[in-house]
Structures are given as C-alpha cells and as structure tokens.
Amino acid sequence: MTEQRRVVVILGAGGTLGGALVRKLASEPDTDLVLSDVNDAAVKAAAESVAGAGATVETALADVGELEQVEAVVRHAVERFGRLDVLISNAGVLAQNGRIHNLTTADWDRSFRINVMGAVNAVHAAVGPMRKQGSGSIILTASVAGMTAWSHSGPYCVTKAGVIQLAKVAAVEYARDGIRVNAVCPGTFLSGMHKELSEAAVDAIASKHPLGLGSADDLVGAYSYLASDASRWTTGSAIVVDGGYAAP
C-alpha cells in the first residue's frame, strides 16, 4: 500500500465518528477516499470538510443493510481508482432501549439489519477486489458494549458482540488471501446519539470511564493504525479504545 495511492472506502461516513475518520485519513499521505452514508447531506458535508486536503474524495449513497448498495459503493471505488485497500464499516444504530421483555421483534430486527448484516455486507463486498489484488484491510466498528453487558440495551450489546465475532471469523477465512479483518471497540464518546441526554445522564456515563468521556478524535488513531502497513501482522483483533471503561 505504500508504493501507490491508498484507496479507502468509509461506510457510515456522515456521523460524528465517520466525520472524524474522514478528516484523519484525508490528512494522511497518498490517500483517496470514497465516502458513503444513507444521509446524502451528511456525507456531502463530510466530503466538503476535507476539501483541499490533498485527497481525491468521492461520495455515494448506500443503505448498508442492502448488499447490492454496498457492492455498488465498492464497485465505484474500484472503477474510479483501480483498487480497494481499506474498507471501514462504520454504520450503526442504537435502537430502542428497554428490558428484553419490553422490546419488539422490530427493535431486534433493525439492530441486526444495520449492525450485523451491515458489517457482513461490507465484508462480502470488499473481499472480492481485495482477493484479486492479494491484499486489503477491513475495519469493523464494534463497541465495548459487545464485550460487556448494558442493562436495557440488549439489541446493541448483542449485535456489537456479533460484529466482534464476525471480525474474527473473517480474519481466519481470508488470511491466506492477504486480507486482514479487525474490529475497533469504542467506549462512549459524545455524538449525535447523546444529544437528548440530560447533563446528569452524561455525567453518570462519564463516571464509568476512568479517563472521562472521549471524543471521536480520540478513536481515529486505532483506525489509522489498522489501515496502515504498521498493522500488517494484526488480524482478528478487537482493539478497545474506551478511556478505561472495560478495565475494572
């Protein structure tokens, strides 16, 4: 990847973490980006935020729950730039909260469709061009929620655990093809999902993180590492970046 321009696809580029990833990777040398999100205005804003950074940036709409749409994004990247070096699957939802007996099948289905099948579709779409070129890095956004238990958050915890396991299975399946697959497990950071919370609720969440609440910018270094040749012997890992949340 160091001998030519690196081509990176980011799914879920329109949110808080997605925007931070766009800024980080666009600032790195010899990198071109294809940004995708279900929100057209958000993904265009993410692209505009790095105008002049030196990266060529393309945008594409996609619902990650639809394999054909994810495949179209990957195909666009390959047709435009000739290869696919890195795919980051960052789309996700925090569905309705509640105790398990109060949740509906629809609550679970929405979480599985986006969080699990979105990641499955990302892997499915990416491995085709990566196998042909004999290299690639796939990075899945999971969560410390997939390693711990949050009351009233069953769908989120269960589906993020599935993302971690998907990274492990895919890493084993595609290692011989030169493809690395890893997950990043963020702790809680302030984002659009928390805008409805009271100050007291935010303080309560922060108290569970020894280093306090982080920001999206605190997370992007892990993705940068996994997207680089420095992580060439790292696969099947779940890298935790959580301000110490999971330590106790």
Contacts (Cβ under 8 Å, ≥6 apart) of 50:
22, 23, 26, 27, 33, 57
CA–CA dist 58, 153 (Å, integer) = 35
State CA 133 to chain mean position distance. 23
Please state, as a whole number, how many other Cβ atoms lie within 10 Å of the Cβ of residue 176: 9
Q: 183 is written with which tokens?
A: 């997950």
Catalytic residue among 156, 174, 223, 245: 156
174 classed as catalytic: no
Contact 196, 173 (CB under 8 A): no
Biggest CA pair distance of the chain: 54
Helix, coil or strand: residue 60: strand
Alpha-carbon separation of residue 246 from 6, 94, 148, 238, 241 (angstroms): 33, 19, 7, 13, 9
CA–CA dist 42, 52 (Å, integer) = 18
Contact 47, 78 (CB under 8 A): no
Active site residues: 156
